[in-house]
Amino acid sequence: MSLEALPVELIGRIIGELPSLADVIQSSQLSRRLNLVCSDPVLNVWRQPILRALDTEDDYDPALKNLSVFMSVPRHNWVDILAIARASFVLYDATLPALANAEWEEAFRRRFLPSWANTKSRTWKEAFMSTLYNIWHRSRTPCTVNEAWTKYIVLNRNGSANLLEVSSRNFDPTNIFADMRLQQNTYRLPLRARLIIQFADVRILALGTLDHPRSGWAVNPNARPFLEPPMIQSPRLYSVLKYPMPTQAYLEYPYHQRSRSEVPTEELGLEWVGGLMIVAQIAGRGTSAVHAQDQDLLVGPNRHQYASFSWDDLWAIAPWLQDTVSRCIDGHGLGI
């Protein structure tokens, strides 16, 4: 039996399992029927080969660069590419197709933190490309022209939270947190840093301190729920995060939980005390390690640039905290 004699669904499954995009392209050009199968947006034989091509630290499959010239590729696949691919590839290598404004909006919301939406842009394409260029530029230079102030959030031990900002040129979370520890009399405790989740361009870090507190008043009530969501063992009370879309290792977030063997030994039996600082670190090459912690997250190449993290971003990645944070304060105020 020839390939073309099979049901279209089976043909689509077979083509989707081909090892490279070049093989899929060649299949789409073999006959009219195969071209129709490859063009079908429901079967979408391109999706898995595209995702496999994007899931690499090495150079992308050369066929990905000019994929838009093939009319058999459903255009909504480009939303995936725009949301996942490295910024340099989208900006300088890829031949981009003509997409509707709604598709550019979808790509923006899947790739970037909610607070980054630029209402001044005329179109979502302009918003997407300008935001992508700015984050790519900041990942390689100390330039802060386009974001003079960097925002971050502190979860306080009294249950409140503060949205604060510092000049981007002087933003160093370790120095800021050192001042916090002085004010809270926790300077004797070492700085602990945890990776919460990683996206295409940034990863969210939490900075705090662990201790055996003498009383419950020192324990931060929102720190543990933020780091280890309490509904993990329950039925899915919240949807798996899609906006923005995490990297491959966190696709099941917030139902991605560290196993017992992954919990640092020094964390067992201890409590998070004092304030917990939440920041967005710009991701670069070498910042994709899932189990990195403490100084490994903060010191080294591509670990010194940060972007703003605001209320909308906190509610996007930890919506359960909206029920537990007692007060949201813009700027310094009660709770610090």
pLDDT tens for the chain, 336 residues long, are 566 778 888 888 898 899 889 999 999 998 888 999 999 999 899 999 999 999 888 899 999 999 999 999 999 999 999 999 999 999 999 999 999 999 999 999 999 999 999 767 889 999 999 999 999 999 988 887 788 899 999 999 999 999 999 999 889 999 999 999 998 888 889 999 999 999 999 999 999 999 988 877 889 999 999 998 876 666 667 888 999 999 988 998 988 765 444 555 556 778 999 999 999 999 876 666 666 777 888 888 778 899 999 999 999 999 999 999 999 999 987 644
pLDDT for 267 = 67
How many Å apart are CA 34 and CA 263, to the nearest integer? 50
The three-point CA angle 165-171-173 to 5° equals 90
pLDDT for 336 = 46
pLDDT for 235 = 64
How many CA atoms are closer than 13 Å to the CA of 244, on its beta-carbon side? 25
Burial of 284 (0-12, 13-18, 19+ CB in 10 A): middle
Report the DSSP pairing between strands 328-330 and 192-198.
unpaired
Residue 312: how many CB atoms within 10 A of its CB? 12
pLDDT for 318 = 95
Contacts of 109 (CB under 8 A, 6+ apart): 117, 243, 244
Closest C-alpha among 211, 28, 200 to residue 128:
200
Distances (CA, A) of 280 to 43, 81, 211: 37, 22, 25
Mean pLDDT, the chain, rounded, equals: 88
Contacts of 173 (CB under 8 A, 6+ apart): 152, 205, 207, 277, 279, 298, 306
**265, 270, 276, 277: CA torsion to nearest 10:** -20
Q: Per DSSP, what are the bridge partners of residue 166?
A: 150
pTM for this prediction:
0.90
Burial 80-103 (b: 16+ CB within 10 A, else e): bbbbbbbbebbeeebeebebeeeb
Distances (CA, A) of 203 to 20, 92, 302: 30, 23, 12
Closest C-alpha among 29, 98, 86, 298 to residue 190:
298
User: In angstroms, how far is CA 205 from the centroid of its own chain?
Assistant: 11
Structure tokens at 317: 């990645």
Distances (CA, A) of 159 to 144, 156, 162, 232, 273: 33, 6, 10, 21, 12
Q: Give tens-digit pLDDT for 275-286.
A: 999 999 998 766
pLDDT for 287 = 65
- CA-based Rg of the chain, rounded to a whole angstrom? 23
Structure tokens at 116: 């980054």
Burial of 10 (0-12, 13-18, 19+ CB in 10 A): exposed
How many Å apart are CA 262 and CA 151, to the nearest integer? 30
pLDDT for 261 = 43
